[in-house]
């Protein structure tokens, strides 16, 4: 067990959340807009191959925040394009993010069927 990874996960993940919170509190941007921006940032960082080293360093601290979603989309597209040519951008787009999207849809649907909002 690599305990240092846990320390890094805590402070890197915490820092990303803290900076997002400061952005929320000091601008009129709403959280949806901030999350959208973070995803775009993740896509760009992924394009330059800069986000994977952070995941290497901080584990869940970099893999859990939404930036990782943008990074994974870009990486999926890039990797598949390298394998199968330009069409790979379309076929590989959701290669790595399928887990998140699929589970969110399934859990969301099931929750909607079973539960009622509490208000």
| Window 31-70: residues binding other proteins (CB under 8 A) | 31-36, 38-40, 42-44, 46-47, 58-61, 63-66, 68-70
Tell me how far apart the alpha carbons of residues 87 and 114 are, in angstroms, rounded to a whole number. Answer: 40
Residue with tokens 């803290």: 18
Q: Can you tell me which of 18, 27, 53, 83 binds other proteins, judged by CB under 8 A? A: 18
**C-alpha separations of 31 from 37, 72, 116 in Å:** 10, 21, 24
Is residue 4 at the binding interface for other proteins, with CB under 8 A as the rule? no
Tell me how far apart the alpha carbons of residues 91 and 84 are, in angstroms, rounded to a whole number. Answer: 9
Q: Can you tell me which of 4, 27, 83, 112 binds other proteins, judged by CB under 8 A? A: 112
Is residue 29 at the binding interface for other proteins, with CB under 8 A as the rule? no
Contact positions with other proteins (CB under 8 A) in 69-98: 69-70, 73-74, 76-78, 81-82, 85-86, 88-89, 92-93
Query: Which residues does 89 contact at the CB level (< 8 Å), separation at least 6?
Result: 77, 80, 81
């Amino acid at each position: 067990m690599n305990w240092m990874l846990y320390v890094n996960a805590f402070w890197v993940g915490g820092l990303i959340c803290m900076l997002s919170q400061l952005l929320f509190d000091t601008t009129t941007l709403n959280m949806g807009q901030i999350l959208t921006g973070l995803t775009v940032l993740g896509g760009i960082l992924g394009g330059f191959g800069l986000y994977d080293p952070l995941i290497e360093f901080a584990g869940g601290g970099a893999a859990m925040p939404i930036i990782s979603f943008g990074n994974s989309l870009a990486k999926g597209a890039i990797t598949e394009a390298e394998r199968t040519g330009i069409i790979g951008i379309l076929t590989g787009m959701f290669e790595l993010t399928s887990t998140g999207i699929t589970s969110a849809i399934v859990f969301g649907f099931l929750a909607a069927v079973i539960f009622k909002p509490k208000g």
